[in-house]
Amino acid sequence: MTLALSLAAGSPLVAQQQENTISATAVAAESHPFFQWDTYPRWSQMTAEQAVSDIRQGMKLAQERIDAICRVAPAESCYENTFGVFESAVDEMDRAGTLLYHLSSTMDSPDIRAAQEKLMPEMSVFSSSIIANEKLWAVISDAAQQSWVRDLSPARQRYVQQVVDSFRDSGAALSPEQKARKAEIELELSKLTLQFSKNVLDSTNAWQLVITDKARLAGCSADWMERAAEAAREKGFGTPENPQWLITLQYPSYSEVMKNCDVEETRRLCWEGRTTVGNGEKYDNAPIVARVMELRRELATLLGFGTFADMKAARRMVGSGANAISFVDSMMRKVKPTFDREVAEMLEYAGKKSGRQLTAMNPWDISYYSTQMSNERFKLDPEAVRPYYKYENVRKGLFSIFEHLLGITITEQPVAYLKPGETLPEGAAEVWHPEVQMFKVTDNKTGAHLGSFYLDPFPRDTKRAGAWVLPMRYGTPAADGKPHGPHLATICGNFNAPVGDKPALLSQLDVTTLFHEFGHMMHCMMGDTELAAHCGTSVSWDFVEQPSQMFENWAWEPEGLARFAFHYETGELMPADMQQKLIAGRFFMPASDNMNQLCIAKLDLDMHVNYNEKYKGRNIDEATAELLDPWRLPTTVRGNSIMRNLTHCINGGYAAGYYSYKWAEVLAADGFSRFKADGVMNAATGAAYREAILSKGDSADPNELFRNFVGREPNPDALLQQMGLK
């Protein structure tokens, strides 16, 4: 694995591990459950205290391997005793760190937080020590120049170059004083980013609004009202006879009010509640963002890069921070004329509905009037499709689509949720929460067990917002005629949960999100590379969203809907006219949707390129408004900077990389054009995609992989063409 990935503990795309023989000093996995090489994780044994023990043990094992590489004499070097050892050097630490990160994301607790606060500085210092190890760098750099490198397979040659590049980019050539300063910066960043994430979660959970008068929720769906009443009762508000309704900042709760509640005052209160996330005296993330940007700028300069964006883009498809900015600016210019027309249309519509002439909108009215306009134009209330999206039906249909396209079978596995000390039933896999499911993926041709994945679909207070896939383990690469070992990963979401006797009913956005995350999952499960370091989602960061973005398309195609859009009560397929209206409304106000995403990407890049010149010493909300207001719908009240709560770009892996969503979306639209030409359910095209993209991971340049699938260079306007903007 590349050093940059192997040391990125806590990243959403971390854990590119290889099944490998543990050092002789390692103790049995039963004593260190966070290592778990051959079995599924025993979640009930994974306490915060155990995490501290296991990660520290992992660091000891990693140090042994690093020391072994340092002892290799130039004349004795070969791939196996240098790069081969390095690839698996931090396996145990990585795996344990990944599982701890997973628990903090899904089962947050004071103990887990305390363990993270204790371990992250230690892991940061350890990671820095590897880069600062001059003996290690001497062996690695010397080995990379040996003649035997030319005889390696293309995948191994690629890995050798990636490791060397990673060392250089990470400061292997720095002076001892510079290395010491780099370690200080990384240690401080690890503490700051953890605090940022905590502030977002805590401020999200700290706000709630209890409604006692049903009239204040006019327009909200009956299903949502029932869930809000149940949530209120769970917190001690209301009774079945005299209900009250709880609104939180969890997306399924908050978004319904902003889109459908007819009462402006209720929407305003919720919007004001949203402004408390990452804000206020107790949870103010602005100073953290400021310090993070300063440290990242210093780090980039220390490592010889012009900006932090240049540093992050150096080994990505985009190549440089300037290229990333150019891409975003070009997209913004292309959609701006249509965006301006959409803004004028929205202001006119909202003005007519509100009975006043508008030159700006209240920010709490934007989603509401956009939803109303869409409903009128396409004659389809978004809530009307929800009964056709029973969670279990969507899940089964999703599996059915890609079982057919990718030549696999997905089978649910028995699971058990255990308390510490309880015995695991024979044949069952343990889960961390009673709602979690587990599935096995099998290849239809060979019968090989490709991998297994967990599915944790519903929100709870201990779970962070959003949806994500986390690779937990990549199996042993295929060798000696045997297939690769099974991979392991998880999908987490925050979809509407069941209420009483009513099943979980998803929105179109929920369905699209589930398809998106399943694209990431198949990237993990289909991985079949020579090296574990190249498996699955370990690709260039601006290519990682290509499968997930492309998979979203089947949530909108008639052939896809035919597999899952059945009414939960009658079993009838969604009527053809409803499907047509749904599909017609997919790209409603497409310029506005694009511009919203591009604004985030622009802010992310601009802060990581021009922080000192534009933001340092300034109010972050004012500086953000100055940059983005020319590209946004005018509002009566200024909102907070999204950077206050954008964990993707502060605590996640998308720092100076949010542009990659749109970059990959272009590639996704272009890739899907082949399916549209061949037939969206064409199994031969699905097999070609599995072979060319999903199975290859990072074993070759992503531009080459993409060309192999589409048969030409990428079309930069593919997304705009798909959306009808060009």
Q: In whole angstroms, what is the distance from residue 399 CA to residue 412 CA?
A: 11
Name the β-bridge partners of 431.
Answer: 417
Q: In whole angstroms, what is the distance from residue 229 CA to residue 246 CA?
A: 6
| 700 three-class SS | coil
Q: Are 653 and 8 in contact (CB under 8 A)?
A: yes
Is the pLDDT at 17 greater than 70, yes or no? no
What average pLDDT does range 185-207 have in this prediction?
94
238 C-beta neighbours (distance < 10 Å), count: 20
Q: What pLDDT was estimated at residue 646?
A: 93
Is the pLDDT at 653 greater than 90, yes or no? no
User: Beta 208-211 vs 487-492: how paired, if at all?
Assistant: unpaired
Decide: residue 487, CB within 10 A, 0-12 exposed, 13-18 middle, 19+ buried. Answer: buried
Q: Are 302 and 178 in contact (CB under 8 A)?
A: yes
Q: Residue 563 gets which letter from DSSP?
A: T
Matching residue, tokens 């760098």: 137
Decide: residue 495, CB within 10 A, 0-12 exposed, 13-18 middle, 19+ buried. Answer: buried
Q: Which of 134-148, 208-222, 288-302, 473-487 shows the lowest mean pLDDT across its residues?
A: 473-487
Is the pLDDT at 537 greater than 80, yes or no? yes
What are the two backbone dihedrals, phi and then psi, of residue 350, each rounded to the nearest 5 degrees?
A: -65, -35
Q: In whole angstroms, what is the distance from residue 381 CA to residue 376 CA?
A: 8
Q: In whole angstroms, what is the distance from residue 95 CA to residue 494 CA?
A: 25
Alpha helices in 261-410 (DSSP H): 264-274, 280-283, 286-302, 308-313, 321-354, 366-378, 382-385, 391-406
Closest by CA to 536, choosing from 551, 517, 521, is 521
Q: What pLDDT was estimated at residue 15?
A: 30
Q: In whole angstroms, what is the distance from residue 193 CA to residue 101 CA?
A: 13
Is the pLDDT at 383 greater than 90, yes or no? no
What are the two backbone dihedrals, phi and then psi, of residue 561, each rounded to the nearest 5 degrees?
A: -55, -35
Please, how many CA atoms are within 13 Å of residue 37, restricted to the half-sphere of its CB?
A: 19
Closest by CA to 655, choosing from 332, 324, 183, is 324
Q: What pLDDT was estimated at residue 495?
A: 94
Is the pLDDT at 591 greater than 70, yes or no? yes
Give tens-digit pLDDT for 471-485: 999 999 988 888 899
Matching residue, tokens 């993270």: 116
Q: What pLDDT was estimated at residue 10?
A: 32
Q: What pLDDT was estimated at residue 293?
A: 97
Q: What is the mean pLDDT of the chain?
A: 92
Name the packing angle between helices 590-610 and 286-302 (round to 10°): 60
Is the pLDDT at 23 greater than 80, yes or no? no
What average pLDDT does range 132-160 have in this prediction?
96
CA angle 67, 72, 78 (to 5 degrees): 120
Give tens-digit pLDDT for 307-360: 999 999 998 999 999 999 999 999 999 999 999 999 999 999 999 998 989 999
Single-letter residue type at 412: E
Q: In whole angstroms, what is the distance from residue 125 CA to residue 121 CA?
A: 6
Give tens-digit pLDDT for 387-438: 999 999 999 999 999 999 999 999 999 999 998 889 999 999 999 999 999 9
List domains and CATH numbers for the chain.
3-173 (1.10.1370.40), 207-276 (no CATH), 386-530+565-573 (3.40.390.10)
Q: In whole angstroms, what is the distance from residue 271 CA to residue 278 CA?
A: 14
Q: Are 640 and 279 in contact (CB under 8 A)?
A: yes
Is the pLDDT at 124 greater than 90, yes or no? no
Matching residue, tokens 């509407």: 496
Closest by CA to 104, choosing from 202, 17, 188, 247, is 202
User: What pTM was computed for the model?
Assistant: 0.84
Closest by CA to 58, choosing from 1, 103, 6, is 6
Q: How confident is the model at residue 30 (pLDDT cuts 50, 70, 90)?
A: low
Q: Are 33 and 54 in contact (CB under 8 A)?
A: yes
Q: Are 454 and 438 in contact (CB under 8 A)?
A: yes
Closest by CA to 247, choosing from 283, 255, 594, is 255
What are the CA-CA distances from residue 394 to residues 482, 506, 564 (Å)?
Answer: 34, 8, 5
**Quick one: three-class SS letters along 486-546?**
CEEEEEECCCCCCECCECCECCHHHHHHHHHHHHHHHHHHCCCCCCHHHCCCCCCCCCCCH
